[in-house]
Chains A and B, each alone.
Chain A
Amino acid sequence: MSENQNIPILEMRDVTVAAMRDATFTVVEGVNWSVAAGEFWVVAGQEFSGKSDLLMLAAGLMSPAAGSLKLFGNDTENFGEAELAERLRVGFVFQGGQLFNQLTIAENVALPLRYKNNLTGAEAARSVANLLELLELTPLADVTPANVAANWRQRAALARALILQPEILLLDNPLAGLGARHGQWCLRFLDQLCRGHDQLGGQPMTLVVTADDLRPWQNARRQFALLHEKKLLPLGGWNEVERCDHPVVKELLAVPIETTI
């Protein structure tokens, strides 16, 4: 294995994370965490535990309030325009998609590719069409996000992040609000990405997702961590999660209350 392959893709040392909306408010502190190439991490936590802020910081969209963040071995402290190409090796999917409402689904997916490579719509069309086909979005290509169900908006956001072929993909609560069928599809697709999707070059992709329910993520190959009371606690694999006595982990594993009408 070469030296580069041993460098963690994502490395945090004593990182303090401030809230995106209020930089004076600390949401997570003392984070020591590294993600190696090909790993699939699930960061679980209750609502408002700071999962989204941690993930945005991991993507290089925010600077740590304290500590150091390295992406691909490079310190992000002075990340600017010149390091943009480096940062675009990280893909990010927001909870709810955050698609651009003025553009169609196809235009949303095409935009990052067109902007990065200075392409016309026609030049980007083939790559976009392939990706839309892969994510079963072709029938919705010319529809604006407001006229598409949330399930499909989430897929479109995934397509938009994948168009730049990132090496690590960060997904903020990707199963939130998805129906059972779309949730299953998403889990299968993410597993395929982690192993290396044939139609996306076959390269294994590193994945980090956040979740407020651990049950759908049951898989022996995934790594788990818990965000609780401003701390990130690595839990290990699924077996360790099941054995964990932490009350919040138990809560995140609990079966939801059945409702009857």
Chain B
Amino acid sequence: MRGNLAKAFVLTNTPVFRRAPLPKSYTDFLGRKLFLFLLTIQGLGAFALITLGVILKKNDVAKNVIQPRIRQEIARAGVALLPMFFFVALGLGFLVVGQTVSALAKVGAISYLGSTMVIVVVRELGPLLAALLVLARVGTAHVIELGTARALGEVEALEALGIDPVHYLIVPRVIGMALGIFSLTVYLIIGALVSGYLFAFLQDVALTPGDYFKQIVESLGWLDFALLALKTISFGFFIAIVTCYHGLAQPLRLEDVSRVAVRAVTQGVIVCVLIDALFIVLYLIS
């Protein structure tokens, strides 16, 4: 237990880089930035592996404590965001789907509707938008909560009481966010497709609801469902890892928390875009 966090601590606290003198030239500056970037990648990778290890190894440990915390995190990263996602689904439907349906109808390309909707909403916009919204609403809270707990010595207190901080603080957040983003993405996609049709209907597009949904269903393959699940769970896992890593895995003072929160959200966005790019490649290959 003591080793878990310790491994992650040493990675980005390597004094050579953190305490290097101020850059004297652009090459020094870029070199230092590159080293810090590589160290962050290494730290995040180690932290992700440690967390995965704890999830697998401590599956049966303290279930009566951890399971309620997982449910709590699912509620926070999922159920509590439903009203916001309802609003976003309406917006996405009206602004993107409705206009696309209307535009395709005008040029007589309505037969491409299904595949267009699947590519735009199911594969791309739905998962990415859901991930970014959860990152903003819940990921930021993770960094601040964990950073404050770290700065106030709560992590040391957990270790003193024989409670693994990764198991108690990180695992529920990772599982909660992964399941939360998956569920919210499904909700967002369905909401956007329905509200999009409503918008198109208001514009007198000659398309029955039956035809509209039939085209979409026919454009969806099993791979879309599988990759959607994998992609959204990956978003949730890695957003939680990035935000928890910055909040917990480094010794912090209270005044550092806001700075770390900004860094974590920035890196969270980068991670989301990278995962999205990876899945585009997977779609293209498949």
A84, A101, A114, A115: the one within 8 Å of B152 (CB): A101
Residues of A within 8 A of B156 (CB): 20, 56, 61, 94, 98
Q: Tell whether, in the assembled complex, residue A88 and residue B157 are in contact, meaning their CB atoms are under 8 Å apart.
A: no
Q: Tell whether, in the assembled complex, residue B62 and residue A114 are in contact, meaning their CB atoms are under 8 Å apart.
A: yes
Q: Tell whether, in the assembled complex, residue B154 and residue A88 are in contact, meaning their CB atoms are under 8 Å apart.
A: no
Q: Tell me, yes or no, whether A116 is within 8 Å of chain B by CB.
A: yes
Residues of B within 8 A of A20 (CB): 156
B149, B152, B153, B163: the one within 8 Å of A112 (CB): B163
| Whole-angstrom CA separation of A176 from B24 in the bound complex | 47
Q: Taking the nearest CB of chain B, how far is it from the CB of A20, in angstroms?
A: 8
Q: Tell me, yes or no, whether B65 is within 8 Å of chain A by CB.
A: yes
Q: Tell whether, in the assembled complex, residue A101 and residue B15 are in contact, meaning their CB atoms are under 8 Å apart.
A: no
Q: Tell me whether chain B's interface is mostly helix, strand or loop, or mixed.
A: helix
- A116 to B, closest residue via Cβ: B162
Q: Tell whether, in the assembled complex, residue A111 and residue B65 are in contact, meaning their CB atoms are under 8 Å apart.
A: yes
Q: A59-B160, A88-B162, A160-B161 are in contact. Are A115 and B2 (CB under 8 A)?
A: no
Q: Tell me, yes or no, whether A253 is within 8 Å of chain B by CB.
A: no
Interface size, chain A (Cβ < 8 Å): 32
Find the residue from A21, A79, A84, A115 having the highest chain B CB count within 10 A.
A115
| Whole-angstrom CA separation of A101 from B2 in the bound complex | 22
- A20 to B, closest residue via Cβ: B156
Residues of A within 8 A of B62 (CB): 114-116, 118
Q: Tell whether, in the assembled complex, residue B160 and residue A61 are in contact, meaning their CB atoms are under 8 Å apart.
A: yes
Q: Tell me, yes or no, whether B79 is within 8 Å of chain A by CB.
A: no
- A60 to B, closest residue via Cβ: B2
Q: Give 1 or 0 for each of B145-181: 1 = CB within 8 Å of chain A CB.
A: 1001100111011111111000010000000000000
Q: Tell me, yes or no, whether A238 is within 8 Å of chain B by CB.
A: no
Q: Tell whether, in the assembled complex, residue B154 and residue A114 are in contact, meaning their CB atoms are under 8 Å apart.
A: no
Q: Tell me, yes or no, whether A81 is within 8 Å of chain B by CB.
A: yes
Binding site for B on A (CB under 8 A): 20-21, 24, 56, 59, 61, 79-81, 84, 87-88, 92, 94, 96, 98-102, 111-112, 114-116, 118-120, 123, 160-161, 164
